[in-house]
Structure formats: structure tokens, C-alpha cells
Amino acid sequence: MTHFYTPERAKKSRLRAQISLAAAGAMVLIAWAVCAYLCTRVRTANAALLFRWVLALSAGSGWTAILLISLAYSPARAEARHMESILKGPAEEAAGVLTLYPEEFRIPRGIRVRKARLDTPDGPVSLRLDASLAPLLPVGRSVRVQIVRQFITGWEDRHESD
């Protein structure tokens, strides 16, 4: 069975989150230090020029930190938390024909998710999938999937397991 969630992958996501948060903090601290240095160099003749530099550095580093936190840290932290909670949950298995819906949505402060349907002999089962894993899943084929809390966590071709 191909497993999507591993402790190593969760650890990498956690590390990516920590690195991006550290980079955002370092960006702000370095800009603050440069601004403080520039403020010690202010004279009457260069006050207007240094003011522009301090303003540009402050705004630029602030927006860069905001972008790093919102585009790198928050998604990596959400992915790591999701993976860690999935790895702790009890796994079930089901078999059938898999259909993946094209729409995706974001769980508030969480990961992007796509809905899926597994047509089993007992009837359809509604499932969810981390949207970044969608290209790895065979759609329209008979598969056996591993499920934790309605999330598809692994799959194998049904013919291989029979």
C-alpha cells in the first residue's frame, strides 16, 4: 500500500514551518538593526534621505515577514498538525471505485481539501483528501484505500492485493 502520511513527512513540514517563521523573524530583526544604525547617522543634510530609507526598510521587511508567515509558515504548520493528528488516528480500510471531485476548499487555519467518493459494494462512502495529494491518487479505478477520520491516507490497486 502506498502511504501518504509518514512521520518523516510530518517532521519535514514541522521543520519547514519553523524555518519560515525564523526567516520572518530574522528579516524583521535585521531590518530593525539596519534602521537603528541609519538613525545614528542622521545629520541635518541627510535626514530626508535616511528617513526614506528607514521607511522603505521598515515597510518592506514588515510586508516580507507577513508574506512569509501567511504563504510559508501557516500552510506548513497546518500541514504538520494535520499529518500528526492523522498519524495518531485509527486506520480503516475500504475498497471500491474512486471518484475525486474537482472542487477544493480550505479548512479554516488548515489544509486545502478535495472531496472524494468511494463506490463500495455496500454503497458510496464520502471521503476527503489533502488537495496536494490528488495527483498521486488513481481516479476511476478499483482501489483499496486506508482511511483515518474520513481522510484517505493510503491506497493500493485492488488487483495487486487480491
Domain boundaries, the chain: 2-88, 92-161
**CA–CA distance, 18 with 29 (Å, rounded to integer):** 16
Please say whether the beta carbons of 152 and 137 come within 8 A: yes
pLDDT of 136 = 87
pLDDT digits (tens, 9 = 90+) for 144-160: 999 999 999 999 987 65
pLDDT average, residue stretch 103-109: 89
Q: What is the pLDDT of residue 17?
A: 95
Q: Report the C-alpha dihedral over residues 67, 68, 70, 76, rounded to 10 degrees.
A: 160
CATH class of 92-161: mainly beta
- For residue 14, which amino acid is it? R
Helix or strand run (H / E) with residue 35: helix 7-40
Q: What is the mean pLDDT of residues 97-102?
A: 91
pLDDT at position 158: 74
pLDDT band at 161 (very low <50, low <70, confident <90, very high): very low
pLDDT at 29 over 80: yes
At residue 157, the pLDDT reads 82
Residue 58's pLDDT is: 94
Q: Of 61, 59, 55, which Cα lies nearest the Cα of 38?
A: 55
Say which DSSP state 133 is in.
G
| 8 Å CB contact between 62 and 28 | yes
Asked if pLDDT for residue 75 goes beyond 90, the answer is: yes
Closest to 157 in 3D by CA, of 95, 101, 100: 95
pLDDT grade for 162, boundaries at 50, 70 and 90: very low
pTM above 0.75, yes or no: yes
The predicted structure's pLDDT at residue 159: 66
User: What residue type is 151 in one-letter code?
Assistant: F
Task: Determine what percent of the chain is predicted with pLDDT higher than 90.
Answer: 78
- Model confidence at 80: pLDDT above 90: yes
Degrees, nearest 5: CA angle 150-154-157: 120
pLDDT of residue 1: 83
